[in-house]
Structures are given as C-alpha cells and as structure tokens.
Amino acid sequence: MFDWLESFADWFVYSILQISAESHLGTALNFFVYDTIKILILLFVIVFIMGIVNAYFPVERLRNLLQRKKLYGLEYFLSSIFGAITPFCSCSSVPLFIGFVKGGIPLGVTFSFLITSPLVNEVAIAMFIGLFGWEATLIYAGSGILLGTLGGWLLGKFNLESWLTDWVKKLMDNTSQEKVAVNEQKRGFLERIPEISREAWGIVNSVLLYIIIGIGIGAAMHGYVPGDFFTEYLGNGSWWTVPFAVILAVPMYANAAAIVPVIEVFVAKGVPLGTAIAFMMATVGLSLPEGTLLKKVMTMKLIAVFFGVVTIFIILSGYLFNLII
C-alpha cells in the first residue's frame, strides 16, 4: 500500500539530499521521512472516516439510543465504542458527561464513554498502524474498548452518584428545562465533505509538530539506546514491570503522537508489547489535566476511584496481553 512512499523516501533522501544509503544518518532520515508521511496520511484518513460516522451518528443520537433502557448490558459496550470513534477533545468531556447524566443515562455507562474516549484516539490509532501494523492496532483498540466496557460496568456497581459535585446532583434532580431552539441546517453528504475534510486537516495540523518530534525522538533512540537497555530493566518478565510502567505513566501526560514512537523503541529493544501498550494507555488515558477538568463534576473521592479502577484495569490488560502474545 505504501510502496510508492518508500520509493519517494529513497529518492528524497538518497538523490535529492545526497545522503548515502549506507550511512547511519541516511537510513535514519529515510525512516523518518517515510514514517512521518505515512502516519500523516493514515491520520487524515482515520479522522475523515470518524468525521463521516459522527456526521451521521452524532453523540445526541447515541444518548437517545442509550436512554431506551433494554439493552441488556450492551449499553456499556456501545458507549465505549463511541468513546473510541469520537474524536477526543478534553474540553468536550465535561459537557458530554453532564449531557449523559442529565439525560438519565446511568453513571457507569457514562464512565464507559469517558474511559475509552482518551484511551483509544485517532492519533494513537494512526501511529499504531504506521509503526506496529494492523494486528497490534486491533489489540490496542480492542483492549481499550474492552477496558472501557468493563471499567464502566464495575464503576456502575459502586453506586457513586452521591460522590458527584453538588451542582451536578441538582442538575440530575431538575431534569426539566426550557427547550432551546435548534435550527441546524440539514445537509447532504456531499455538502458535508468539505467541512469534514477541514476538520480532519485541523486535527492533523494540530498534532503535526508532536508527530514530527515523536518520530524524531524515536528515530534517534533507535540508533543510540543500547539494545539491551530496556530489556535489562523492563523486559525481563518480572511480575512488577507492568504495574511499575503503568504507575510511572499515570501522572505523565504526553500527546499520543509523541508517546507511540517512543514505545515502539521500547518494544524493539525487548519490552513486551503488553507492557508497552499499558504504559501508553496510562499516559494518554489518565492524566492530571484531565483530573482537574473533572473536578468540576466529580468530588476528589470519585476521581480517585475512577482513576484507581482504570489504572487497575490497564495493569490487568497489560498482563493479559503479555500472556497471550
């Protein structure tokens, strides 16, 4: 699929820049050009597809679907899937949370969305396909969705409603509200294309720099980190390596674009894929900035339980994948 890009990278680095294919710099630069362009194309395509799905199945429709009660547990799964395919924007998570809770959707189902939304995001998926291939991407996205489903279900069992902040509780009691007039124009598919591609470009543009930095760091690490460095510390299969990697990652906040190339190096240098995915999930899925945003709707106790459950599930999925891969 990307043969043409390989030829382009060869031509660009070896003929135009005249850097020898035998030199270390030449191969590194070739990788860098190839990976960066490939990932940008993948990201654009993924965001574009997500845009089409969201245009036809907006989150309001999901809410209506979830409000019809009889889904026999499937609601957690649906909510989690939607968390995965909705482009993640941290500034939308609070309005969305309120919208769900106020719409009478159980807290657990709302949590399913909230867990998966940052965990499985378009940037990470594009980078996974580009750097690890399809199989690893499916494992990553699948485990993220599963994690959101189970995590939300478990959190729902705890009856945590009383730990929401007071004004959210008030909102829940007072579900009747004046109707706001909506006058959104209905548009056909072709009319939406320019707007969807504009959104996709916007997202690509906003992470472009991170992708370049991330791949740059990855390329540099490949060459200069000794081959057994990580194996010695994280790859020797000790039981504590997964929780260690995850707990190390929770307070860290990095854009998925910057973290995936780095864990690709981890894996190449001997860290098991499960441990690496767990590390990445904890970095992008749980972060202090997110916790700060959620403080508006959740008490500290609830945030702690939420983070705690997700952390434990990420650790468990790390173990699981190390076992089965």
The residue from 28, 49, 171, 225 that contacts another protein (CB under 8 A) is 171
The tokens of 303 are what? 């945030």
Q: By CB under 8 A, which span of 83-91, 117-125, 133-141, 258-266 interacts with another protein?
A: 83-91
The answer to whether the beta carbons of residues 56 and 85 sit under 8 Å apart is: no
* First-last CA distance in the chain: 26
Paired with 298 in beta bridges are: 164
Rounded to a whole number of angstroms, the minimum distance from the CB of residue 273 to another protein is: 33
**What element of type H or E holds 183?**
none
Question: How many C-alpha atoms does 290 have within 13 Å on its Cβ side?
Answer: 27
Is 324 among the residues that bind another protein (CB under 8 A)?
Answer: no
Rounded to a whole number of angstroms, the minimum distance from the CB of residue 10 to another protein is: 37
What are the φ and ψ backbone dihedral angles of 298, each rounded to 5 degrees?
A: -125, 145
Question: Distances in Å between the alpha carbon of 62 and those of 50, 57, 96, 154, 193?
Answer: 15, 7, 11, 21, 22
The residue from 84, 96, 139, 277 that contacts another protein (CB under 8 A) is 96
Closest CB to another protein among 102 and 222? 102
Quote the CA–CA distance of 17 and 151 in Å, as a whole number: 51
Quote the CA–CA distance of 103 and 142 in Å, as a whole number: 28
Rounded to a whole number of angstroms, the minimum distance from the CB of residue 199 to another protein is: 6
Is 99 among the residues that bind another protein (CB under 8 A)?
Answer: yes
Closest CB to another protein among 161 and 232? 161
Is 119 among the residues that bind another protein (CB under 8 A)?
Answer: no
The residue from 11, 56, 167, 189 that contacts another protein (CB under 8 A) is 167
Rounded to a whole number of angstroms, the minimum distance from the CB of residue 187 to another protein is: 11
Q: By CB under 8 A, which span of 23-31, 32-40, 127-135, 194-202 interacts with another protein?
A: 194-202
CB-CB neighbours of 325 under 10 Å: 12
Which residues of the chain form contacts with another protein (CB under 8 A)?
54, 58-60, 63, 89-92, 94-96, 98-100, 102, 167, 171, 177, 180-185, 195, 198-199, 202, 206, 296
